Chains A and B, each alone.
Chain A
Amino acid sequence: MIKSELIDKIAAANNLAATDADRVISTIFDEILKTLKQGGRVELRGFGIFSVRTRRARMGRNPKTGAPVAVEAKKVPFFKAGKTMTDVLNKKPGAA
């Protein structure tokens, strides 16, 4: 499912014009994006948790030449699936 398909579904379910459904979805994901870019954490019970994790600097290798290269420390976005999501995917009884 891509964003445009999600837009169609949300528009139909909420009696919205596609442009408005697009704005709703964009606003939701933009809020998450903004929070992560500021180094924050997003907790959506049932869905999951978005956070930012730090990767330490390490010595890497150029795979083509084998020459060692320094890889700097960096921050990566991280997502942990919530309980409802995990249960629905694994068909646990009682999952929404």
Chain B
Amino acid sequence: MQKTLTRADIADALNREMGFSHADSFKMIENVFGEVIAALQRGETVKISKFASFIPHAKKQRMGRNPKTGEAHAIEPRRVVSFRPSQHLRKGLK
């Protein structure tokens, strides 16, 4: 089982590819993902070509049920993000 990729591994890649210090690499990684979240928050779809799109969706209130007790209760309106991988990403997995 291979190791999970984390921010530290991405920072290593930035250091290797571009020579940025680890501190600067971490700052830029935060910056990139922060901008993606900020755009989603504004309701914008974020499209990274050759990778994927992140699409924000607003869900309406609906009635749900506590599966354990069977009690009915409202699920409040909420916003979720759907992930749409590009053909490039889908194909590589086969």
Binding site for B on A (CB under 8 A): 1-3, 6, 9-10, 13-14, 20, 23-25, 27-33, 35-48, 52, 74-79, 81, 84-86, 88-90, 96
CB-contact partner of A10 in B28, B39, B56, B92, under 8 A: B28
Q: Nearest chain-A residue to B51 (Cβ)?
A: A29
Min Cβ gap A37→B in Å is 4
Binding site for A on B (CB under 8 A): 2-7, 9-10, 13-14, 17-18, 20, 24, 27-29, 31-37, 39-41, 44-52, 54, 56, 78-81, 83, 85, 88-90, 92-94
**Cross-chain contact A9 with B35 (CB below 8 angstroms):** yes
CB-contact partner of B32 in A28, A84, A86, under 8 A: A28
**Cross-chain contact B32 with A35 (CB below 8 angstroms):** no
**Cross-chain contact A29 with B48 (CB below 8 angstroms):** yes
Q: A33-B92, A75-B93 are in contact. Are A85 and B81 (CB under 8 A)?
A: yes
**Cross-chain contact B85 with A75 (CB below 8 angstroms):** no
B27 contacts across to A, CB distance below 8 A:
14
